[in-house]
Structure formats: structure tokens, C-alpha cells
Amino acid sequence: MALKTKYYTANGQMRMQRSPGDVRSTLLMPDALGSVTAIRPADSTTVKTLNYTPYGLGSSTGPRYGWVGTWGYRANPYGRTPSHYVRARHLDGRTGIWIVTDPSWPAELPYVYGDSNPATRNDHSGLGCKPDPCKKCRGMDDETLCKWTRASIPLLQTAGITGFVACCYGKKVSCYFRNYGVIEKKFGRVPPAIDKVVRECTIRHEDFHRKRPSGFCSDGKGNPTNCGAFASPLAIHYNEECIAHQISLDCLRSKFEKKCAASKSPRDWSCVMLMSECFSLSNYCGNSGTLTQEKKRYCLELHARMKKEGVIV
């Protein structure tokens, strides 16, 4: 019996595949539409990029599930015309129309795919597009987009998350929200002057993510979308967060380090904010070689001082 390629999904979307004979799985890296635009073997750092025409031609050079492939579109390059099977019917890759009539006709147009907008719409079932949830974000100014994105994604409202990058059809904005959680429960309300510095350093942190080419717009659950919060692929997430938090620490140290060193009490807000960033650094960097020894030493010394004074346990 012939061995078959195995596919692994997360939240209904294909994320990895393992072909017969492979020791490890291959990571499928999708764009907001769900097309596999890059593939990387789990035991390799080499990434192969893929490109497609608006209606999926070109996917025959990549995995069988390429164009909108993480949602189940399967390429069929061997017929009389290149096509994709989308559960209920086949789509002609040259003309961009369905080969058979829409089962929902006349409620839906009989042969039109994706509302004639294949760059931003897809059709998971082959039976018609769902309403576009990202349509509302078009034309929003930066501040409104930040507020709308935060309200749309519960994860961003979690205590301690002060910054993220909001995205809408290619537009990306670095956002900040006052959200100190545990810090204010333990030390009281953060003074406005301290918050102003934290805002500046958080925006620098998010600007690093915003300018990175390796990322995608996510719905907060790891699914690529056309709007939401900008996220890094899982394979490089911790590495990029480690770099971004070092940027944050450098910024905070430039504002707070001398004041904290001169303070007689490590409960001083400058020390508290520096220690908070050191905790984040430890969480994302671990023993990563990306973390400089100087920053590691600085955080360890600050931690020892605050522990000695009973500020932390």
C-alpha cells in the first residue's frame, strides 16, 4: 500500500505536512489569504518562497496545497486546464471562474469566485464567500484602527499587554494602551511621567515588529487574516520578541537607569519598570544567543538588588 503525505492543522487551517520518508514535518507559512507563500523543513533554516497569480497559477511548483492551500484548496495541474478543487467544485485557474454552477444559484451568481476579488477574498467551502469582517477597517485613521483592533481581539485586552501592531489590508500601525495589570496592583497607579516614557519605548518595540517583512496579520488565534494584529511566524516568534524587548530595555535604560541607580529604594518607579522589562526579556530570550551578555548581567544585578530589598521574591 502506498504511503500518503500527512497534514497537520491548527484551528482548522493546515500548518504542517510530512511526506513519506521525511523524519520531520515541513512548516507551511501562509499569507492572510491562506496561501502557502513559504515552506521550511523543521530541521532546516532554508525557506523556499512561492508566488501565485490572482487565481492560483504557479502553485504546481510548490506543495499540492499551495494557493489558499491551508484552507484546503487542492491544485490539479494535470487536467485540460489548471484548476483547484475546493470541496464542492473546481475553479478554472486561467479564467478565474467556477467550472460548474454554484449550488446556491440563483441566490449566488452561478460562476463568480470570491466576489471577483481573489486578492482579498476566498471561499473555504466552494459554496460562496462569507461577509468580509475586515471591510470596516478600511479608511480608519491610526488611532481608530488601534482601538478597533484591540476591541476585536480579546487577547489584546489581557492585563500586561500594552503594545501591538494593528494591520488592515497591508497598512500597519504601532499601537500603545495603558494596561499595567499586576504592576499597579502591587505598586499603585503608574505616574503620568513614567507612563509617557513607557509609551515611547513600547512604540519603539512595536516599530521593530511593524518593519519586519516576516510576519502576517492575525485574528489573535494564529489564523492569518486581512485585519487584526501583526504576528511573527511561530518558528521565529521568540527570537524576534527577544530582539524587540532588548530595544525596549535600551530605551528604558536611557531614561531610567541613572535615576534607579541613585535611588535609595528599588521601589522607585524607574527601577520597577526596568525590572518589569527584564522579566519580559527573560521570558522571551531564555538562553538565546540573541541576548547580549551585558543586558543579561544588568538584569541579574537589578534582580538581586530588588530581591534583597524584598520588592520581589
Residue-wise pLDDT tens digits, 180-225: 988 888 889 999 999 999 999 999 999 999 998 878 888 887 777 8
Helices 269-285 and 234-262, packing angle to 10 deg: 160
Contact predicate 127/104, CB 8 Å: yes
Which is higher by pLDDT, 60 or 235? 235
Contact predicate 118/55, CB 8 Å: yes
Which H or E run contains 145? Answer: helix 142-152
Cis ω before 106 (30° cut-off from 0) = yes
pLDDT tens-digit series, residues 241-252: 999 999 999 999
Predicted pLDDT of residue 167: 94
The rounded distance, in Å, linking the Cα atoms of 175 and 161 is: 11
Tell me the pTM. Answer: 0.66
The yes-or-no verdict on residue 313 having pLDDT over 60 is no
pLDDT tens-digit series, residues 123-147: 877 777 767 778 889 889 999 999 9
DSSP 72: T
Please, what sign has the CA dihedral across residues 198, 203, 206, 212? negative
Across the beta sheet with 216-218, what order do the strands follow?
171-176, 163-168, 227-231, 216-218
Pairing of the two strands 83-86 and 227-231: unpaired
pLDDT tens-digit series, residues 10-55: 777 888 888 777 777 888 888 878 888 888 876 666 778 888 888 8
Predicted pLDDT of residue 117: 79
